Amino acid sequence: MRSDLGTKLAALALLCFVLPSPSAAQEEASLEETLNQLSGDAAAQYLAPVSSSFGANLNSGWFHRAPKAVKLGFNFEAGFVAMGSFFPDDATHFDVEGSFRFSDDEAAMILDYWADQPDSPDFESIPGLEDYLIDQITADAYRVGISGATVIGAATDSVTVAYGGDTLSYLSEEYVVPATDVKLPFGGFGDLADINLMPLMAPQLTLGTVYGTQFTLRYLPAVEIDQDLGEFKYLGFGIQHNPMVWLDMKLPVDVSASFFTQNMKVGDLFECSSTAFGVNASKTLGWRFLNLTPYAGFMLENASMKVSYDFIVDTPAGPVTQPISLDLESENTSRLTLGLNARLGIVNWNIDYSLAAYPAISTGVNLAF
């Protein structure tokens, strides 16, 4: 397991992949340490599936019925909702062209490859040549092809940087460094490698009904997850309104317009936010404390993940740090949700499925009064 906090909040997968466990810390880098080796172009592609899956999860599980068209009623629910988003088949691998600055170790790998070629120079017989070439290769960023596993791809699918070669001069001689592939020491990340579904869980409170309106709250108190990373914070709220409360007419189903928004933050490394609005409808069959409620909804949605970290390159002159800030947008822009809620006494249980670019399933258990 990754950490005590990650174990307790295992469904909050963001924590699980940001922090390594104490026992694994010597063997496996944290996600932040992994990102330290990636330029912004590659990191955006590497993290894209996680951004979209968290967006799909955050916008799931908000409702399991529409409020009644009553001016004053009482409805209170408290419980948990668990969500899971499924990854498309093409989300496990990326291939992008971008800017990348090689470290001295990576430059040495390029020269090691060259040394095995028949047209390579005899580095031992030309004093200073190898060090000079490493200095030149690491001096600035190259435009390269970068490919390999995304964060959820296979651990064996190493992220690879395609060095295109270069012509460098030393002591009036020109040396043509050949193109080669440089494999970075990671592929799919840790426990996220090869997973098919990204989980998330949140406590949820719902209170209504006032003039056809009910309110929903998701909240976790701020918790310091790591002295370096800082605090984990999570807050979301939503509102559903049944406009039939203002009209002198009745429909065979309850309907509502809805709006939901939330924010999740992990120190200065990650910040996820989402917004969704749309319409939903439901029909309760049975009695107050024993019933079934099929429900459906259509939502327009957006979500983003902001990632901030330092791209650190070891060069012969010392480490070079480049601050990176990414704003990743979720692929989901709309969803159709179909679900069923069952009530037995004061216990509500619901399950639904959302059709979207990143499909999602959610289920919730609530005490209802």
pLDDT band at 245 (very low <50, low <70, confident <90, very high): very high
Assess whether pLDDT exceeds 50 at residue 19.
no
Strands (E), 25-122: 72-86, 93-100
Task: For residues 168-177, give the mean pLDDT.
Answer: 91
Residue 123 has a pLDDT of 87
* 160 vs 38: which has the higher pLDDT: 160
pLDDT band at 361 (very low <50, low <70, confident <90, very high): very high
CA dist 89 and 63 (Å) reads 29
Q: Of 152, 155, 150, 111, which is closest to residue 129 (Cα–Cα)?
A: 111
Q: What residues contact residue 190 under an 8 Å CB cut-off, 6+ apart?
A: 2, 17, 20, 28, 31
pTM score: 0.84
CA dist 352 and 141 (Å) reads 48
Assess whether pLDDT exceeds 80 at residue 5.
no
Cross-strand pairs, 78: 205, 367
| Peptide bond between residue 261 and the one before it cis (omega within 30 degrees of 0) | no
Question: Structural domain boundaries of the chain?
Answer: 4-29+61-87+197-309+329-368, 92-183
At 93-143, the pLDDT tens digits run: 999 999 999 999 999 999 999 999 988 898 888 899 999 999 999 999 999
pLDDT band at 4 (very low <50, low <70, confident <90, very high): very low
Instruction: State residue 47 phi and psi, 5-degree precision.
Output: -95, -10
Q: Of 328, 244, 339, which is closest to residue 298 (Cα–Cα)?
A: 339
Half-sphere exposure of 68 (CA within 13 A, CB side): 12
Q: Of 69, 8, 78, 39, which is closest to residue 232 (Cα–Cα)?
A: 8
Assess whether pLDDT exceeds 60 at residue 337.
yes
Assess whether pLDDT exceeds 80 at residue 8.
no
2-28 burial, b if ≥16 CB within 10 A, otherwise e?
Answer: bbebbeebebbbbbbbbbbbeeeeeeb
